Amino acid sequence: MEFSSKLLERAVNEMSQLPGIGKRTALRLVLHMLKQPKEHTVSLSLALQSMRANIKFCKSCNNISDVELCEICSNPNRNEEIVCVVEDIRDVMAIENTSSFKGLYHVLGGKISPMDGIGPHDLNIESLVKKVKEGSIKELIFALSSTMEGDTTNFYIFKQIQDCDIIISTIARGISVGDELEYADEVTLGRSILNRIPFEINLKM
């Protein structure tokens, strides 16, 4: 790509570092900004700078937060005896959107993935194990993705805390609501059979 301006080239190069943004898309976005009033670009860059400079991670659950203890951890109406273990903030947001969970979270910051060079010590696992061993948690719910990395991470944490007197569960994996059984893949259908639930529970949902 040949540029008529070094300034334009630099902006496009920076923009194309973002995931899913190729050079062409970056150019389209940058040209769009040039057409907009200058204040729009200033306010975008200030928002990004301020986020990088001021954002914090909750000291208890590692969720992204503006304050030391996030809104969920500091909410007295949440049940602190039940902790849901998730990969990142997007999972917290997804589960919060369901309004079905009133416990707390623990954000690991990823999954164990030797292929990507991510080991247990790169994640917030130690602080979770410490919390469990301190004895205030009664139930831990694993809500990691159903992949080999997710299962490895669940198992690694399980090994550290299996002697503790707590309930350890995983979110149910199975057929989506409204899905036809014949279209479900074998793994999903197999897990649905293994994770079957008493019929009366369906009636309460």
Residues making contact with Zn ion (CB under 5 A): 58, 60-61, 63, 70, 73
Q: Do 145 and 111 contact (CB within 8 A), yes or no?
A: yes
Considering beta carbons, is residue 89 or 189 the nearer one to Zn ion? 89
Least Å from the CB of residue 104 to Zn ion: 7
Q: Considering the complex, what minimum distance in angstroms separates the CB of residue 86 from Zn ion?
A: 12
Output 60 or 154, the one with its CB closest to Zn ion. Answer: 60
DSSP 52: H
Amino acid at 168: I
Shorter beta-carbon distance to Zn ion: residue 70 or 83: 70
DSSP codes joined into one string, 144-168: --SSHHHHHHHHHHHHHHTTSSSEE
Looking at residue 118, the DSSP 8-state letter turns out to be B
Q: How far is the CB of 181 from Zn ion (least distance, A)?
A: 39
Query: How big is the CA angle at 145 (ends 139 and 151), to the nearest 5 degrees?
Result: 75
Nearer CB in complex with Zn ion: 73/140: 73
CB of 88 to Zn ion, least distance (A): 13
